[in-house]
Amino acid sequence: MSTLWRVADVVSSMPETETARTIGLRVNGLNGNLAGQHIDIRLTADDGYTVVRSYSVAGAGMDETLEITVDELANGEVSPYLVRELAVGDQLEIRGPVGGWFVWKPTDTNPVQLIAGGSGIVPLMAMIRAHHASENPAQFRLLYSLKSPESGFYREELQTLGQESRKLSIDYVYTRKAPKGWPTAPQRLTPETLLASILPTDPAPDIFICGQTVFVETVAEWLVQAGYPAASIKTERFGGTGGTR
């Protein structure tokens, strides 16, 4: 059924950062989604021209609604429309949710290490929310690499969860601008910082990495070199910026 296009109503639209927006959709007959899955969105211009893009779902629902968070790409064809123009009451078409690999299920029992670069937080947030809503006691740890405090998604919710949840801890790395009073200057993620900010190799956690290609490749490589089993590392990339070769 996931290959059929279905009409989605835009039921909410909230700015997430200066360039990103969280959009709530309601789809008749939708039967929830797994944490980490994505949907395809199809837009049709008035002359019939269509374009399709994939977006990670930010939650793991059981009903007819889902949320995505879209970051506007400077030269994007679709994201500027979704972030700047789309309004509550509009409709668009979706396909999915799809994906059975980069997903976390409440029946999974291993500790989980999440590593997000920028807007790569979206499918990982779905896992955090699903984990929080469940009775699952597994330890979750999030490492969130950000350009600046203002560029973070779900800031208040993550802050609250990080303070209140006994089964989730959060580490931040700021690459260009750190918050006031932050103990370290902004810097790119290094192997030392990475390894000091994640769950240890024993017991081996399930690791989910999402971000731009270079970030994901680099982090996955460091983890393998540090002894994390390659089979425990799942990766998802976005942005399509892989260089020209």
Partner 1 sequence: MGIISSGFHGRRQTGNPALPPGQYETASFPVLTAGPAPRIPIGDWEFFISTEAGQRHAWSWDAFMALPQMDIHTDIHCVTSWSKLGTTWRGVSLDTLFENVETSSRFTMAHSYGGYTTNVPLPDLLGGRAWVAWEFDGEPLERAHGGPARLLVPHLYFWKSAKWINGIELTQDDVPGFWESNGYHIHGDPWREERYS
Give ∠ CA 58-78-48 in degrees, rounded to 5. Answer: 120
Under rule CB under 8 A, residue 78 binds partner 1: yes
The answer to the question of residue 52 lying near partner 1 (CB under 8 A) is: yes
Non-local CB neighbours of 171 within 8 Å, separated by 6+ positions: 141, 142, 143, 144, 197, 198
> Residue 35 and residue 121: Cα distance in Å, rounded?
12
Give min distance, CB of 163 to partner 1, in A: 32
Q: Using the rule CB under 8 A, which residue among 33, 145, 197, 235 binds partner 1?
A: 235
Stretch that binds partner 1, among 21-29, 78-86, 164-172, 189-197 (CB under 8 A): 78-86
Q: Is 62 in the site for partner 1 (CB under 8 A)?
A: no
Strands (DSSP E) found in 16-99? 20-27, 38-44, 50-56, 65-71, 91-98
Site for partner 1 in 1-20 (CB under 8 A): 2-3, 5, 7
Give me Rg for the CA atoms of the chain: 18
CA atoms within 13 A on the CB side of 115: 28
We find the least distance from the C-beta atom of residue 75 to partner 1, in angstroms, to be 9
CB 209 within 8 A of CB 193: no
**Which long-range contacts (C-beta less than 8 Å, at least 24 apart) are formed by 28-32?**
28/64, 29/64, 30/6, 30/63, 30/64, 30/65, 30/66, 31/62, 32/60, 32/61, 32/62, 32/63
- Nearer to partner 1 by C-beta: 15 or 242? 242
d(CA 221, CA 28): 42
Among 11, 43, 73, 195, binds partner 1 (CB under 8 A): 43
Position 74 contacts partner 1 (CB under 8 A):
no
Applying CB under 8 A, the span of 77-85, 119-127, 147-155, 194-202 interacting with partner 1 comes to 77-85
And the tokens for 227?
């002894």
- Binding-site size for partner 1 (CB under 8 A) equals 51
Residue with tokens 């893009």: 53
**79-118 mask for partner 1 (x: CB under 8 A)?**
--x---xx---xxxx-xx-xxxxx----------------
Nearer to partner 1, 163 or 244 (CB): 244
CA quadruple 53, 58, 59, 65: dihedral sign = negative
Q: Which of 57, 112, 127, 223: binder of partner 1 (CB under 8 A)?
A: 223
Nearer to partner 1, 28 or 163 (CB): 28
Q: Given the rule CB under 8 A, which residues bind partner 1?
A: 2-3, 5, 7, 42-46, 48-54, 77-78, 81, 85-86, 90-93, 95-96, 98-102, 213, 217, 220-221, 223-224, 230-231, 233-235, 237, 239-245
